[in-house]
């Protein structure tokens, strides 16, 4: 296992210089057997299958050169899944979908079921992304998100549950409360054993696609809060093994310091995952 436990703690201790206590960060060393998990979220990009294939080939090259014990994934639009799955086969890159439908079959025009995803080689499914909670494409509720989590788990797939506060909520000091409500409702009925299949992505809405990345101190404080929430709702051992990604304007110039934080176990990357050079530096962060 890669020795990130001691290294991560030491780097953070060196970089926070006392401000961690005020930010609520903990310097607890990593527990469990968490691997770093870097995922690209392509959203409604790129415009054609040919471009998607070229991008995927570059990402496979970046990931295959990585010597770290790490999961790397591409979450791409539905029409590209089967082709991108072929490109990822035998590589270090796993395939993810950006959403799913809770129905299995029938009169649900536009729907995509978990069995369809599975048959295309999908392993991970994003759930509750803020663009689906608050965006123009959907206004998903926590109850709908919880139903999707249930569906994904029952299909033998792995959910990546996105949580995070809006700018107004952040400014109102509600970050932890918002995460707590989204976790409580999103994970309702999920057992301790099932938590081993779930990744949490903390994505402050104000940082997504804005270039306003959360500082390592702010991100670490929230990740630490999420881990303590998991310890309270499940137990310490479960909390120690859940991978918690940070998402929101992750870029080559901020990835190293974010990943050095003890409770940040990876990144969910939008814009920068579409640019091979940038995503290469993120996948192969120092």
How many Cβ atoms from other residues are within 10 Å of residue 85's Cβ? 21
Q: Where are the beta strands (DSSP E) in 29-164?
A: 36-41, 70-76, 93-97, 124-127, 158-163
Among 63, 200, 270, 279, binds ligand PGA (CB under 6 A): 270
Cβ closest to ligand PGA, residue 16 vs residue 268: 268
| Tokens at 41, concatenated | 């979220």
Q: Where are the beta strands (DSSP E) in the chain?
A: 36-41, 70-76, 93-97, 124-127, 158-163, 199-202, 244-247, 266-269
Among 93, 116, 230, 269, binds ligand PGA (CB under 6 A): 269
Minimum CB separation from ligand PGA for residue 88, in Å? 19
* Length reported for the chain: 286
Among 79, 156, 172, 209, binds ligand PGA (CB under 6 A): 209
Kindly state whether residue 9 participates in binding ligand PGA, applying the rule CB under 6 A.
Answer: no
Among 163, 186, 271, 285, binds ligand PGA (CB under 6 A): 271
Q: What is the DSSP letter of 70?
A: E
Kindly state whether residue 135 participates in binding ligand PGA, applying the rule CB under 6 A.
Answer: no
Minimum CB separation from ligand PGA for residue 162, in Å? 7
| 98 included as an active-site residue | no
Kindly state whether residue 12 participates in binding ligand PGA, applying the rule CB under 6 A.
Answer: no
How big is the chain by its Cα radius of gyration, in Å? Answer: 18
Q: Which residues bind ligand PGA (CB under 6 A)?
A: 41, 203, 208-209, 247-250, 268-272
């Amino acid at each position: 296992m890669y020795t990130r436990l001691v290294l991560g703690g030491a780097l953070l201790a060196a970089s926070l210089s006392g401000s961690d206590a005020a930010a609520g960060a903990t310097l607890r060393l990593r527990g469990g057997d968490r691997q770093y998990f870097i995922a690209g979220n392509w959203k409604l990009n790129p415009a054609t299958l040919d471009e998607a294939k070229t991008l995927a080939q570059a990402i496979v090259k970046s990931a295959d050169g990585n010597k770290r014990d790490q999961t790397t994934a591409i979450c791409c639009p539905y029409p590209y899944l089967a082709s991108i799955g072929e490109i990822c086969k035998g590589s270090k890159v796993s395939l993810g979908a950006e959403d799913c439908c809770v129905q299995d079959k029938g009169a649900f025009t536009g729907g995509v079921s978990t069995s369809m995803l599975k048959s295309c080689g999908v392993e991970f499914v994003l759930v509750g992304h803020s663009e689906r909670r608050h965006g123009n494409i959907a206004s998903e509720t926590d109850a709908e998100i919880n139903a999707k989590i249930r569906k994904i788990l029952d299909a033998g797939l792995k959910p990546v549950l996105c949580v995070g506060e809006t700018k107004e909520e952040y400014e109102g000091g509600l970050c932890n409360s918002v995460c707590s409500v989204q976790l409580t409702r999103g994970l309702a009925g999920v057992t301790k054993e099932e938590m081993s299949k779930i990744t949490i992505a903390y994505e402050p809405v104000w940082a997504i696609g804005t270039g306003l990345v959360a500082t390592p101190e702010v991100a670490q404080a929230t990740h630490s809060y999420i881990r303590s929430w998991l310890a309270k709702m499940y137990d310490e051992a479960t909390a120690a093994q859940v991978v918690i990604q940070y998402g929101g304007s992750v870029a080559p110039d901020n990835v190293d310091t974010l990943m050095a934080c003890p409770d940040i176990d990876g990144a969910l990357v939008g814009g920068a995952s579409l640019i091979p050079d940038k995503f290469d530096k993120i996948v192969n962060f120092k």
